[in-house]
Amino acid sequence: MMDALTIFAGTANPDMARSIARALGVRLGACQVERFPDGETSVKLDEPVRGREVFIVQPTAPPVNDHLVELLAFADACRRASAASITAIVPYFGYARADKRDGQRVPVAASMVATLLQTVGIAHVVTVDVHTPQLEGFFRVPVDSLTAVPVLADAVRERLSEGTVVVAPDAGRVRMATVFARRLKTPVVVLHKQRESGTKTKVLHLVGDVRDRACLIIDDMISTGGTMAKSIEALLEAGARPEITIAATHGLLLDDARAQLAHASVRAVFVTDTVPVLQEDWPQLRVVSVAPLIAAAIRQFMTDGSLRALG
């Protein structure tokens, strides 16, 4: 069945695409991506895809809009070249946070992006630890959100002290924290926060006991690091040991995220490769690959298998 698929790598994360193709024992499809001086994106397929199952690997990593338009162009090229089906592998779905109207005159951008993806012919979307599960409701095509929790839990297990507690930085991550805790056999603590702006949050109170215990703070993403920094402060004020590990699926690490996490109590920061991690000379940073997970999912799609087998 692998003979019937073609995997194209967008420019957002070509290393991941190569790792996925290698895990499946196939080569990447030949293509060209060019950006004109005015910012327009041009995509050209250098091999036929007629009748083939096409997978486009393209997270909407920063710059989000450039990579989104590139994904749309890829899909449109494949549709016009008569691909049998087009699956978008979007490990990080950047607009998932814009899932509702917080004001009266704002867009629901997640719904808008879903419409765009379907309009250009994408018949299946695969993502990893999507920020808002209700994103699926904006699509009329199948959406599969894989989870990096098993991979991250295995990576952090040996670095955790006995008695460590898993910390959800907000109510929205309780489910994720619970899965971590079940796999690591630890209790769960929840921080309740209030978002003051797009980049600032305030921790209101803590549910659970962290006194004299090491903490593993989990999240689906680290953007500017503000949420993590506030969480660290709240945990230490509540009596937690200055022994904190951080694990998040998407390591965007924008602006001064590294400075926000440069706290003496932080022992390690684990992220995956859903987006390229460009930080260098950061001894605490560990990058775990989810390419094998995505490759396994593609194998299941091609053989009509079940994703339950992926854990």
Q: Which two tokens stand for residue 84?
A: 């049998």
- For 168, the 3-state DSSP assignment is strand
Nearest CA among 91, 101, 102 for reference residue 67: 91
Catalytic residue among 44, 100, 185, 193: 193
Check if the beta carbon of residue 54 is closer than 8 Å to that of residue 8: yes
Look up 193 and say whether it is catalytic. yes
Q: How many helices (H) and strands (E) does the chain have?
A: 8, 14
Contacts of 273 (CB under 8 A, 6+ apart): 13, 15, 16, 19, 287, 288, 289, 290, 291
Please report, as a single letter, which amino acid is at residue 149: V
Angle at 295 between CA 109 and CA 59, to 5 degrees: 25
CA distance 64 to 70: 10
Report the catalytic residues. Answer: 193
